[in-house]
Amino acid sequence: MSQMPTTAEKPTVLIVGAGLGGLMLGALLEKSDIPYKIFERATAVKPLGSAMSIGPTLLPIFQQLGIYDEMLSIGKYITHTEGFKESLEPNRPTDYRPVEEYTGYGQYIVSRPLYYDIMLKQIPPHKIHFGNRVLNITEEDDKATIHLSNNETFEGDIVVGADGAYSAIRQRMYEQLKLKGELPKSDQEDLPFSCTCLVGQTKELDPEEFPCIKDPICQFRSVLGEERPFTWITFTTAQNTLCFMVIHHLSKKTSKAAQEQRFRNNENAEWGAYPAQTMCDETRNFPIELSDGKKRTLGDLYDLTPKDLLSKVMLEEKVFKTWHHGRAVLMGDACHKLNPSGGHGAVTAMHDAIALANLIYAVPTTKSEDLTKMFEEYQNERIPAVMESYNNSQMLSKIMEKSITGAIIHWLYTHIPFWLWKLLLAKTVRYRPQVGFLKRIPLQGTIIPFVSPSEEKARAVYEQQLQNVASV
């Protein structure tokens, strides 16, 4: 049963970048039978970052894609996060259980590499090209062409830059706009750094030695440094491993030095294998709380961590003003790089992919004017949610900083009345988009999600197609 117009009328989409956002877009286009290819400059993507949180803002999409049970099978249910002072004196835990009442879905911690593998399986191997760096994009005769480092070229209607904070697609777009004098000043400035981060995941641990991993509920604990500008977090996974994230909050001076060091190392991948040993040595003796009465430090976890599951990364924060030009459009970190304190980066990128997939499905023609209008609708829909995530992550990063503002926010955060906390949580689950061209998942819970214009648009086209087929 055909759900769309003939193939000739569908746009061909060239996705640059095979991170989680690029794979989500590819998986959705696969379901809508829209032609696409994915190009990734790395020969294989190493999805470092240890683990990530998924919940009601993504789980309905996984139901639509038919991978919901598989996702839950790799996840560990989480109900609370616990905070500690450096002395390991506990603060009041943060309770996330109301989310389930609001949405009908729980929150889960999933291993990032396993999550990536599930998403990669949604893409037929012949549609993804690894080890292909994009050198340039050109546009003529109502087509866009990408030029690869191996001298190959590929032609399409839409180029999507899903290639991270140092996006080659954004750089090419901005070069063209700058020549025309049309690039806003803020988009010409370097990405600012606020912190560096060590992320890792241990090998599978012995539950007798580490009883916390036996608990079916994720043990998520963060320690706020008092004398040193660090925050460190540990959490358990369904694979009997412990993940950790150690954040070093930078001064402005350190920030500039970090930026210069980054360019000296010419390391562009945000989660790339960056020399991490120095940071491990510096933080080995930081105390951790695993609720088994034993005195432990981060060094105990480092010694149990395979080297390929350890990485040091720079954490940039910026929301760009310009998201599209001509036949090229940006998504994820390429147009908004968020501090991971709020855990929003990957989710926000995948929400971009959902909105884009809906709008690409519904676009009436591949003419430039229709694509420009579609890109504007995409940016207008996504900006409010992106800015909310950006502001949330800014606030969370302030809590972790050594400043009077941070101390005040931290006090408020740990003393907030539960009724007010529930109101704040309710705000975070309003963005629960679905895919308009796949079977709708019935809404659950007490909080009605925001209307997604892109979803409604795709749903209208989808239902019209079904009617057309039924009437033939």
- When pLDDT is averaged across residues 221-250 and rounded to a whole number, the result is 90
Name the nearest CA neighbour of 281 among 256, 298, 306, 304. 298
Residue 91: is it exposed, middle or buried by C-beta count within 10 angstroms (0-12/13-18/19+)? middle
Instruction: Please indicate, yes or no, whether residues 237 and 169 belong to a single structural domain of this protein.
Output: no
Q: pLDDT tens, 418-443? A: 788 788 888 888 889 999 999 999 99
Domain boundary among the residues 288, 316, 344 is at 316
In a domain, 49, yes or no: yes
pLDDT at 2: 36
Token reading at 41: 């400059």
State pLDDT tens for residues 172-213. 999 999 999 999 999 998 887 777 889 899 999 999 999 999
Q: Give the residue with greater pLDDT, 162 vs 272.
A: 162
Q: Would you say 223 and 86 are in contact if contact means Cβ atoms under 8 Å apart?
A: yes
Q: Is the pLDDT of residue 409 over 80?
A: no
Residue 412, pLDDT score: 66
SS3 category, 398 = helix
Tell the residue number behind the tokens 């420009």, with chain if given: 372
Length of the chain: 472
Evaluate if residue 170 carries a pLDDT over 90: yes
Q: What residue type is 219 in one-letter code?
A: Q
Residue 18 forms part of a structural domain:
yes
Residue 90 belongs to some domain of the structure: no
Tell me the pLDDT of the chain averaged across its residues: 87
pLDDT of residue 278: 85
Could you read off the pLDDT of 308-338 as tens digits, one per residue?
888 887 777 889 999 999 999 999 999 998 7
Structural domains counted in the chain: 2
| 272/350 same-domain check | no
261 lies in the same domain as 112: no
2 within domain boundaries: no
CATH number of domain containing 185: 3.50.50.60
- The pLDDT of 4-25, averaged and rounded, is 83
* Residue 145 lies inside a defined structural domain of this protein: yes
Residue 175 sits in the same domain as residue 214: no
- Give the distance from CA 385 to its chain's centroid: 13
Asked if residue 201 and residue 289 are part of one domain, the reply reads yes
The pLDDT, as a whole number, for residue 305 is 92
pTM of the model: 0.91
Greater pLDDT, 5 or 206: 206
Question: Do 142 and 200 belong to one domain?
Answer: no
Indicate if 129 and 232 belong to the same structural domain: no
Whether the predicted pLDDT of 127 surpasses 90: yes
Do 218 and 181 share a domain, yes or no?
no
**Percentage, residues of the chain above pLDDT 90:** 61
Q: Is residue 73 part of a domain?
A: yes
21 and 124 assigned to the same domain: yes
pLDDT at 442 (0 to 100):
95
Q: Are residues 36 and 104 in the same domain?
A: yes
Are 451 and 467 members of one domain?
Answer: yes
Sign, CA torsion 341/343/346/347: negative
Question: What residue numbers bound the domain in which 138 lies?
Answer: 7-84+97-189+317-471
From 281, 297, 316, the end of a domain falls on 316
The band of 396, judged by pLDDT with boundaries at 50, 70 and 90, is low
Q: Which residue would you say has higher pLDDT here, 147 or 394?
A: 147
How many other C-beta atoms can be found within 10 angstroms of the C-beta atom of residue 348? Answer: 28
Are 44 and 182 members of one domain?
yes
Q: Give mean pLDDT, residues 7-31.
A: 91
